[in-house]
């Protein structure tokens, strides 16, 4: 069975996933207070569908700063060439390599569905045409500058729109599949 790679991520209306310094203060609830709604935007159902997560080092460091590890016992692969420091949660390991080589490793381990997170990691897997689905939640805020979700591509990557849902919070979530 081939591995399916999914991205589930929020962006500002102007397409940024973080401020230039990596800050997420513009996301509702990112400051440690509760978000305006108890809606989880399908996140738990999505997480229940994945076998493991892969994320870049900057994303891992950001998640570590949240305090409580949000991924439970799911395996997490940190895509980095450098050793991790500090207290490392169980089932976290580092991997490095080109996206196609990483996919072979994950498939050899029997993974069927992987959640990919982190801007540069997402961009490299998109360039390699290895992201199968994108679930993008647009937050109605303009932050003006920051870290973009998308980067340069060598060739077009056609996507099929599957659905779009709007929420009372003003969030708009769209689901796409690679054609």
Type and span of the H or E element at 152: none
The pTM score is: 0.92
Rounded mean pLDDT of 33-46? Answer: 76
Rounded mean pLDDT of 14-28? Answer: 93
Beta carbons within 8 Å of 10's beta carbon, 6+ residues apart: 17, 27, 136, 137, 138, 139, 171
Type and span of the H or E element at 64: helix 57-65
Question: What does the pLDDT look like over 117-134, one tens digit per residue?
Answer: 999 999 999 999 999 999
Q: Dmax of the chain from CA atoms?
A: 43
E runs forming strands in 61-145: 76-79, 92-95, 113-117, 133-139
Euclidean distance between CA atoms 55 and 119, whole angstroms: 9
Question: What does the pLDDT look like over 142-156, one tens digit per residue?
Answer: 999 999 999 999 999
Where exactly are the structural domains of the chain? 4-27+39-113+121-157
**pLDDT > 60? residue 31:** no
Euclidean distance between CA atoms 134 and 14, whole angstroms: 17
**pLDDT > 50? residue 32:** no
Decide if 179 contacts 142 (C-beta within 8 A): no
Q: Please state which architecture CATH assigns to domain 4-27+39-113+121-157.
A: 3-Layer(aba) Sandwich (3.40)
Rounded mean pLDDT of 47-71? Answer: 92
């Amino acid at each position: 069975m081939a591995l399916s790679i999914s991205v589930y991520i929020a962006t500002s209306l102007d397409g940024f996933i973080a401020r230039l310094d990596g800050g997420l203060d513009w996301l509702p609830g990112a400051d440690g207070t509760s978000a305006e709604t108890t809606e989880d935007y399908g996140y738990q159902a999505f997480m229940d569908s994945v076998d493991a997560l892969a994320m870049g080092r900057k994303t891992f460091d950001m998640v570590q700063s949240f305090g409580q590890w949000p991924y439970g016992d799911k395996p997490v692969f940190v895509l980095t060439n450098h050793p991790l420091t500090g207290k490392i949660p169980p089932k976290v390991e580092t991997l490095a390599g080109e996206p196609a080589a990483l996919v072979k490793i994950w498939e050899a381990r029997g993974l069927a569905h992987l959640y990919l997170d982190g801007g540069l990691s997402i961009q490299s897997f998109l360039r390699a045409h290895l992201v199968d689905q994108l679930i993008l939640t647009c937050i109605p805020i303009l932050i003006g500058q920051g870290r973009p979700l998308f980067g340069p591509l060598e060739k077009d990557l056609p996507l099929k729109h599957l659905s779009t849902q709007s929420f009372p919070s003003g969030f708009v979530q769209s689901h796409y599949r690679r054609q």
